[in-house]
Structure 1
């Protein structure tokens, strides 16, 4: 008889579990709402659980439904959104979340002639954002000036389904309705690979006809496949040895996922050997799912947590547009991730006399004023609260002194 040899891997026993309400890490989760007719999305602190009231403040500047949102990898307070109104907007979320509705973006990026369904930040260069629209065009923006620096036209004959950067942001990969995958050098505006002849490996999936949402972790070489409309997350380990893709296991639940988000590695709980965390969108709720490697020791597991990409950018936008590349700046998770103080996102106004300025950056002045007004309102609200509490303390002290007498 032939004996089956089981391949050794530290990720063979990874298991998924729905998170209880008291196990969140701080910061935010963003969820698109009113997708069928509004132009808003929610931004919630991760520790906020339970039912969200209908009056909860939203980010609501678009005039058409919001189609995509993406948190900036270099500033946890900054998020971009794209919409059917053909625009991309960039927002700065207050440190402690929304107190009132946020309707004034920091900058509006205009250029697409049809709805914008895809946005993605550059992984290592500050203030570089890519957008892809149903006009089959890709723009790459310097968000710090509000300008479209690169326009990739006539490369896609049909609708672009997805776009992603490589690890250092020197190349992009696109998938298109014409069933072709293109690897593009965006600064040279050239296609360097297309229609790969043979796949490295083929794995047959027992899933519905829904779109598969892939999430790849370069630190552990584990890829997670979440089927939209499916209720399963399957995960595989990628190695240099044939057959290259090795099935690990699957997490299943009763309800299908309508969408899926992925937590950056620095947001994970390393004390519980958490190697991935997803945010599963149901019809009426968002549920965290964690992937954990079972370990008996409470010590930091170095093999599970190599240094990972941190929040500091390797380059400024101008450096990248000039042709420079920079790998992600790694950080250690040994003592847990401690976030730096967030800096305010600013748009630099161009000198219109040099011919390089655009209408987009001109709009930043009233938006800055609106932002300042919002901050002043919040300061006044907090001062009023402190004042009322001081009066309450004085009153209680007076009552105590009478009782003491």
Structure 2
């Protein structure tokens, strides 16, 4: 019996990669060792953000995307968390706004200046205080501006509306209380009507965040 592979071979020939030169790489960036399975790097069309090693709290770097080469060891940082930064995400509607979450159980929203940073940024634009344990994941809603989801080790997913004049928010607009263990990842579908999560209980959940209902568990 003959065997027929179920995949098609590539039609491209003589295509070779070339390693970037050192001048086109980001060198001497002190990447953190404390994010576990979370995201320590976030990129948008203007900047690359990297969570770094930092004594006495959590910090991350925001480097212009075209500023390659060796990084100055005294390059300014975004440093306002009291614990390690665990996740960072750029706002999909504003390339100069980034969110961060930390072991200190807070989420912070930062304004990044369009020009080069000249000093550390220590005061966030907004601070979200709702979780009772460390916050490991954050995710911006893909179609609703200024809506942010955060997931903590208190097993709760909180939905925040940042379109407010308040600098400190302590009341999320909704709380998704569908998990009995730590959420390991979460992701939206294209229009943001559904949220998929994986948990340490080895289950995948499909959630309708508007109705706060679990549609499927697998």
TM-score (norm 1): 0.44
1:97 CA displacement: 3.3
Partner deviation per Cα, 1:272-306 (whole Å, 9 max, x = no partner)? xxxxxxxxxxxxxxxxxxxxxxxxxxxxxxxxxxx
Distance 1:5 1:164, change over 3 A: closer
| Range that drifts further, 129-138 or 43-52 | 43-52
1:116 corresponds to which of 135, 140, 143: 135
2:65 corresponds to which of 23, 35, 46: 46
Matches within 5 A, 1:3-402: 4-5=4-5, 7-8=7-8, 18-20=19-21, 21-22=23-24, 27-34=46-53, 38-145=57-164, 146=169, 147-153=171-177, 155-195=178-218
1:51 CA displacement: 2.2
Partner deviation per Cα, 1:207-242 (whole Å, 9 max, x = no partner)? xxxxxxxxxxxxxxxxxxxxxxxxxxxxxxxxxxxx
1:144 CA displacement: 1.6
Q: Is the contact made by 1:160 and 1:175 (CA closer than 8 Å) also made in structure 2? A: yes
Partner deviation per Cα, 1:184-218 (whole Å, 9 max, x = no partner)? 011111100001xxxxxxxxxxxxxxxxxxxxxxx
Gaps of 5+ in 2: 27-43
Structure (1 or 2) with the greater strand fraction: 2
Q: What root-mean-square deviation, in Å, do the aligned CA atoms of Structure 1 and Structure 2 show?
A: 2.6
- Aligned pair count reads 194
Distance 1:34 1:11, change over 3 A: farther
Partner deviation per Cα, 1:315-354 (whole Å, 9 max, x = no partner)? xxxxxxxxxxxxxxxxxxxxxxxxxxxxxxxxxxxxxxxx
1:52 CA displacement: 1.6
1:156 CA displacement: 0.9
Q: Distance in 1 between matches of 2:12 and 2:93?
A: 32
1:54 CA displacement: 2.1
1:50 CA displacement: 2.1
Gaps of 5+ in 1: 196-405
Q: Distance in 2 between matches of 1:15 and 1:136?
A: 46
Q: Distance in 2 between matches of 1:184 and 1:12?
A: 41
Q: Is the contact made by 1:61 and 1:102 (CA closer than 8 Å) also made in structure 2? A: yes
Distance 1:101 1:156, change over 3 A: same
Q: Is the contact made by 2:206 and 2:216 (CA closer than 8 Å) also made in structure 1? A: yes
Is the radius of gyration larger for structure 1 or structure 2?
A: 1
Q: Secondary structure at the match of 1:76?
A: strand
Q: Is the contact made by 1:77 and 1:94 (CA closer than 8 Å) also made in structure 2? A: yes
1:151 CA displacement: 0.5
1:37 CA displacement: 5.3
TM-score (norm 2): 0.80
